[in-house]
């Protein structure tokens, strides 16, 4: 009887860690599946909102063009690059305004962005943890349009360095917010670093003072 009890206890002791591992794997797998499903829904939702516009194409063209102009040592060549960017800037100015108006009319339930650094399934349903994508898009639209106005107001023979850097930062911060909405803040920041070799903190520091103040209030709660 004693040997039988001892064997039973040993078997139970061996089984317990295995059950714990199984439960951990099961829960982790469930969280991963829920997270993936939520992210797919958010990516599809944002893609549908952006579909009528060419905002992403304008963002890319302006970002690349500004950086190219800033890298030109010859003033005439730099001025020529700035000139080619004007129509794209005007198109973006008009489209980002209409996009912000369209987003502002949508119900808030599916447009909440979790402030948590990682994507936790269901977190976007907890108001205390979230900020509103509608407010973020309105903020970015104001910042981008103001940066374009400032750039256009400068004499064409200047280097426009500070104004151009501000515009690029405003564009990058909008892209970061879109990635944050779709995935998470950490993923958005990692993507920003990978694509532009620029840290999230650098982008926030590079936008206008008005954008930075409003943005910090919004995302910090």
Tell me if 11 is assigned to some domain: no
- The helix/strand count (H/E) of the chain reads as 8, 2
Q: Which long-range contacts (CB under 8 A, 24 or more apart) does 101-106 make?
A: 102/49, 103/49, 103/133, 103/134, 103/137, 103/138, 104/134, 104/137, 104/138, 106/49, 106/134
Tell me if 36 is assigned to some domain: no
* Residue ranges making up the domain that contains 131: 53-220
pLDDT 10s per residue in the chain (221 long)?
454 455 555 545 555 566 665 555 544 455 556 778 888 999 999 999 999 999 999 999 999 988 888 888 887 888 888 888 889 999 999 999 999 999 999 999 889 999 999 988 888 889 999 999 999 999 999 999 999 998 888 776 565 788 889 999 999 999 999 999 999 999 999 999 999 999 999 999 999 999 999 999 999 97
**This model's pTM is above 0.85:** no
Tell me if 4 is assigned to some domain: no
Token pair recorded at residue 123: 């977190």
Tell me if 15 is assigned to some domain: no
Tell me if 5 is assigned to some domain: no
Query: Residue 81 has what pLDDT?
Result: 85
Q: How many CB atoms lie within 10 A of CB 187?
A: 16
Distance, CA of 206 to CA of 167 (rounded, Å): 9
Q: Are 118 and 184 in contact (CB under 8 A)?
A: yes
Tell me if 206 is assigned to some domain: yes
Q: Is 130 helix (H, G, I), strand (E, B) or coil?
A: strand
Distance, CA of 31 to CA of 64 (rounded, Å): 38
Angle between helices 133-153 and 209-220 (to 10 degrees): 170
Q: Which long-range contacts (CB under 8 A, 24 or more apart) does 193-199 make?
A: 196/63, 196/172, 198/172
Tell me if 80 is assigned to some domain: yes
Tell me if 93 is assigned to some domain: yes
Query: Residue 157 has what pLDDT?
Result: 58
When divided into structural domains, the chain yields a total of 1
């Amino acid at each position: 009887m004693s040997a039988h009890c001892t064997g039973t206890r040993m078997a139970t002791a061996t089984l317990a860690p295995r059950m714990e591992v199984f439960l951990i794997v099961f829960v982790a797998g469930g969280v991963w599946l829920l997270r993936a499903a939520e992210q797919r829904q958010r990516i599809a939702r944002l893609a549908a909102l952006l579909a009528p516009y060419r905002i992403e194409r304008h963002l890319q063209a302006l970002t690349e063009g500004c950086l190219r102009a800033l890298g030109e040592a010859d003033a005439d060549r730099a001025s020529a690059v700035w000139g080619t960017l004007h129509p794209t800037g005007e198109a973006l100015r008009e489209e980002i305004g209409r996009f912000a108006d369209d987003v502002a009319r949508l119900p808030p339930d599916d447009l909440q962005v979790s402030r948590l650094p990682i994507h936790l399934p269901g977190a976007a349903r907890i108001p205390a943890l979230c900020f509103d994508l509608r407010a973020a898009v309105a903020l970015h639209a104001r910042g981008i349009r103001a940066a374009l106005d400032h750039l256009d107001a400068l004499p064409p023979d200047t280097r426009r360095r500070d104004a151009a850097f501000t515009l690029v930062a405003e564009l990058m911060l909008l892209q970061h917010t879109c990635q944050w909405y779709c995935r998470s803040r950490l993923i958005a920041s990692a993507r920003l670093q990978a694509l532009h070799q620029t840290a999230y903190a650098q982008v926030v520091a590079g936008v206008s003072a008005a954008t930075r103040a409003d943005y910090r209030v919004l995302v910090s709660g």
